Structure 1
Amino acid sequence: MAEQNGVKVVVDRDKCMGHAICAQVAPDLMDLDDLGYNITEDLELPADQAVQAHRAADSCPEGAIRILQVGE
């Protein structure tokens, strides 16, 4: 079985509208400011956190969170 690669989480802060749903879905990964806007710096995560990262991205109504594969 092939080893699964990690992922990179990239947040487009200009698209974020402060819904804060991402932080509800993935509180360990997402950082918000006092108004609820995502201020998460680009993250490289191991494969075991990829599901949580994808849930955060999928929860964003603005599509401000992208998940990229690492190491391909």
Structure 2
Amino acid sequence: MNTDLRLAVDWTACTAHGLCAELLPERITLDEWGYPLVEGTPLPPEAVRRAKRAAADCPVLALKLQ
């Protein structure tokens, strides 16, 4: 398993639904306009599965795993 996976946001696609923060609150918070603030650090192995779900469930597919 890749231990260097990180979350990234495609800012041109993001429309601030906030679902990512609901699915992964320990790694994503929302700013005052509802846009996600993601930690730039690698994901711990126990968070990868939920991060993949958050990316897949994003209504505009703006959340990416890199």
TM class by shorter-chain length? 0.7 to 0.9
Distance 1:65 1:38 in 2: 9
Aligned-pair distance for 1:41?
A: 4.6
The one of 32, 38, 41 equivalent to 1:40 is 38
Identity %: 34
Alignment of 1:5 onto 2:2: yes
5+ residue gaps, structure 2, are none
SS of the equivalent of 2:29 reads coil
Contact 1:13 1:64 in 2 (8 A): yes
Count of equivalent residues: 65
What is the CA RMSD across the aligned residues, in angstroms? 1.5
TM-score (norm 1): 0.74
TM-score (norm 2): 0.80
Larger Rg: 1
Contact 1:11 1:41 in 2 (8 A): no
Q: Mean alpha-carbon deviation: is it higher for 42-51 or for 52-61? A: 42-51
In the TM superposition, structure 1's runs of 4+ consecutive aligned residues that sit over 4 Å from their partners are none
SS of the equivalent of 2:37 reads coil
Q: 1:5 to 1:30 in 2, by over 3 A?
A: same
